[in-house]
């Protein structure tokens, strides 16, 4: 390859072919003193020949690589995020080739586990501190708008999260104003940039803010655990919905935010709690029912009024009709009553005449009976005795009606009105 | 609907009030004066809700934050 001309005006040496420079860079780096470093392991990955991870602390990080057989010889197994290690080795640079990419790494020749991860412990401490300060609560107390007009979204400009947010909003039938606040969502510049974007969106009076980022390791998401960012979010007056990292790891932003969702799509749906199409259908139904009531209220009352306005004439006509009817009925009833009364009178007269005849016959029978009774009484012997006569009977109870019979009887019984006495006849007939 | 009403309502409280109004009207207990007042209030709320829905249904408008800021600084309507 022929060497091209350099940049006009530049006093720097060259131009050199990049491959030669990369090889030189590798040589320079390899010359650096071998050292021991300590930090935490993040994003551990193993390939057939090498293992890769990042060694981190709060200030910075180095990509590390180690031969697989050397690593396996340690018997440490896969290293979890946050595992604290001491490594020995030095920087190395792979210059790449026509078909492979260059990369820098710290070439690890020895590794020792050194206890629990510091970063995770720090994160836990910070979480407890923020919680104790009550910073997890204020966002949750903010009023949420069921139909936000303006939604702010903080996300990476090129990430897939952007499409997911749009999909979620479409699913809600939402088509208002969407304000994109693009920010880096991974490196050490991310947290301040995100905090600034949130403050700017809040100042623009958006109704709700979604902070979205696709999945990644907790190390990738560490910017969302930044203390300043979390304090900023806690004090915002606009609700923030967090959707970072698909929830495999919980960031502090998830704790501080008004709501935390597992995906950007869900976050978008959570930002619009009310489904717009459903709301439209419901509102149309409300409007129809109200109009129905309105129509009925007016029509029913109008009918009533019309009825009332016709009322006097109708009332008189109705009453007249009723009166005529009554009159007819009265006359008919009168006629019926008269006939009935005369029939009843005739019947009464008949009964009376019959009763009169019966009475005369009965009186005659009574008089006869009385006569007979008097006659009988006159013939009653008891009546004669009452007047002072006596009845004479012989011993056989036969009535003695002659002196001769009395002499013959010798003893008789004299019955007076009050009692009977026996008597002996002294004047007896000497010769019968 | 007055501004005062608009600021005190959210979409949820507005629809809840409309439901309440319809229940009262359905009951048939409201006299003419009350019916007309409820209808007026209900129609106002429906109109307000429709405005809210219209604002989120006119077509998605995507803006970058800096565009929105520029718009706000130039005094253009939000």
What is residue A230's predicted lDDT score, i.e. its pLDDT? 94
What is residue A75's predicted lDDT score, i.e. its pLDDT? 66
The answer to whether residue A428 neighbours chain B at the CB level (below 8 Å) is: no
The answer to whether residue A308 neighbours chain B at the CB level (below 8 Å) is: no
CB atoms within 10 A of CB A91: 18
How does pLDDT run across A230-259, given as a tens digit for each residue? 999 999 999 999 988 765 667 899 999 999
Write out the two tokens for A255.
């704790």
Give CA–CA dist B13/B21, Å, rounded. 12
- What are φ and ψ of residue A190, in 5° steps? -65, -50
Write out the two tokens for A22.
């990369």
A27: helix, strand or coil: helix
CA distances from A269 to A29, A154, A252, A272, B28 (A): 51, 15, 22, 5, 39
pTM: 0.56
Distance between start and end Cα atoms, chain A: 218
**Residues of chain B contacting residue A297, judged by C-beta atoms under 8 Å apart:** 25, 32, 35-36, 39
Give CA–CA dist A217/A236, Å, rounded. 27
B10 and A146 within 8 Å at the Cβ level: the answer is yes
Sheet with strand A411-415: strands edge to edge: A391-393, A411-415, A420-424
How does pLDDT run across B13-67, given as a tens digit for each residue? 999 999 999 999 999 888 888 888 999 999 999 999 999 898 888 888 898 988 8
Burial class (CB in 10 A: 0-12, 13-18, 19+), B71: middle
Cα of B1 to nearest chain A Cα, Å? 15
What is residue A409's predicted lDDT score, i.e. its pLDDT? 82
From B15, B56, B63, residue closest to A276, measured CB to CB: B56
C-beta separation of A239 from A258 below 8 A: yes
B63 and A205 within 8 Å at the Cβ level: the answer is no
What is residue B59's predicted lDDT score, i.e. its pLDDT? 86
What is residue A401's predicted lDDT score, i.e. its pLDDT? 84
Residue with tokens 């991860």: A117
Cα of B59 to nearest chain A Cα, Å? 5
C-beta separation of A113 from A93 below 8 A: no
Query: pLDDT under 70 in chain A at which residues?
Result: 1, 75-77, 115-119, 216-219, 246-249, 378-381, 429-432
C-beta separation of B35 from B55 below 8 A: no
A175 and B52 within 8 Å at the Cβ level: the answer is no
Please give the torsion angle defined by the CA atoms of residues B55, B58, B60 and B63, in that order, rounded to the nearest 10 degrees. -60
B18 and A173 within 8 Å at the Cβ level: the answer is no
Give CA–CA dist A25/A22, Å, rounded. 5
The answer to whether residue A211 neighbours chain B at the CB level (below 8 Å) is: no
From A150, A276, A287, residue closest to B57, measured CB to CB: A276
Assess whether pLDDT exceeds 60 at residue B7: no
What is residue A16's predicted lDDT score, i.e. its pLDDT? 92
C-beta separation of A169 from A270 below 8 A: no
Give CA–CA dist A337/A133, Å, rounded. 105
C-beta separation of A93 from A104 below 8 A: yes
């Amino acid at each position: 390859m022929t060497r091209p001309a350099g940049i006009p005006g530049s006093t720097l040496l060259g131009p050199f072919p990049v491959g030669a420079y990369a090889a030189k860079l590798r040589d320079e780096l390899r010359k650096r003193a071998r050292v021991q470093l300590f930090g935490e392991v993040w994003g551990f990955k193993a390939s057939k020949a090498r293992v890769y991870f990042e060694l981190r602390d709060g200030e910075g990080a180095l990509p590390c690589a180690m031969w697989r057989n050397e690593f396996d010889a340690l018997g440490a197994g896969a290293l979890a995020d946050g595992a604290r290690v001491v490594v020995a080795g030095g920087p190395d640079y792979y210059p790449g080739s026509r078909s492979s990419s260059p990369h820098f790494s710290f070439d690890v020749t020895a590794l020792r586990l050194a206890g629990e991860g510091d970063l995770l412990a720090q994160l836990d401490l910070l979480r407890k501190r923020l919680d104790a300060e009550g910073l997890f609560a204020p966002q949750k107390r903010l009023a949420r708008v069921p139909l936000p007009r303006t939604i702010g979204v903080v996300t990476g400009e090129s990430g897939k999260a952007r499409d997911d947010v749009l999909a979620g909003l479409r699913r809600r039938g939402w088509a208002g104003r969407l304000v994109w606040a693009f920010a880096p969502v991974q490196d050490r510049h991310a947290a301040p940039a995100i905090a600034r974007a949130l403050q700017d969106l809040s100042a623009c009076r958006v109704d709700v803010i979604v902070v979205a980022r696709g999945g990644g390791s907790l190390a990738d998401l560490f910017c969302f655990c930044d203390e300043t960012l979390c304090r900023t979010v806690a004090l915002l007056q606009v609700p923030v919905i967090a959707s970072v990292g698909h929830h495999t790891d919980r960031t502090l932003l998830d704790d501080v935010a008004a709501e935390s969702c597992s995906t950007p799509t869900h976050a978008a749906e959570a930002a619009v709690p009310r489904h717009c199409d459903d709301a439209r259908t419901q509102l149309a139904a409300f409007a129809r029912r109200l109009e129905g009531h309105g129509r009925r209220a007016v029509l029913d009352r109008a009918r009533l009024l019309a009825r009332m306005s016709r009322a006097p004439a109708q009332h008189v006509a109705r009453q007249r009709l009723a009166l005529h009817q009554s009159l007819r009925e009265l006359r008919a009833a009168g006629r019926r009553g008269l006939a009935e009364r005369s029939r009843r009178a005739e019947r009464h007269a008949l009964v009376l005449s019959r009763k009169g005849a019966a009475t005369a016959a009965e009186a005659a029978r009574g008089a006869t009976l009385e006569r007979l009774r008097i006659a009988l009484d006159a013939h009653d012997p008891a009546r004669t005795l009452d007047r002072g006569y006596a009845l004479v009977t012989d011993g056989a109870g036969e009535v003695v009606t002659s002196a001769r019979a009395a002499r013959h009887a010798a003893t008789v019984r004299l019955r007076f009105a009050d009692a009977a006495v026996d008597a002996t006849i002294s004047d007896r007939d000497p010769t019968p | 609907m007055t501004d005062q009403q608009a600021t005190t309502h959210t979409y949820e409280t507005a629809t809840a009030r409309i439901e309440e109004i319809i229940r009262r009207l359905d009951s048939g207990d409201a006299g003419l004066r009350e019916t007309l007042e409820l209808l007026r209030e209900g129609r106002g709320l429906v109109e307000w809700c429709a405005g809210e829905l219209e604002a989120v249904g006119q077509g998605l408008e995507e803006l970058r934050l800096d565009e929105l800021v520029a718009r706000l600084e130039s005094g253009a309507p939000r």
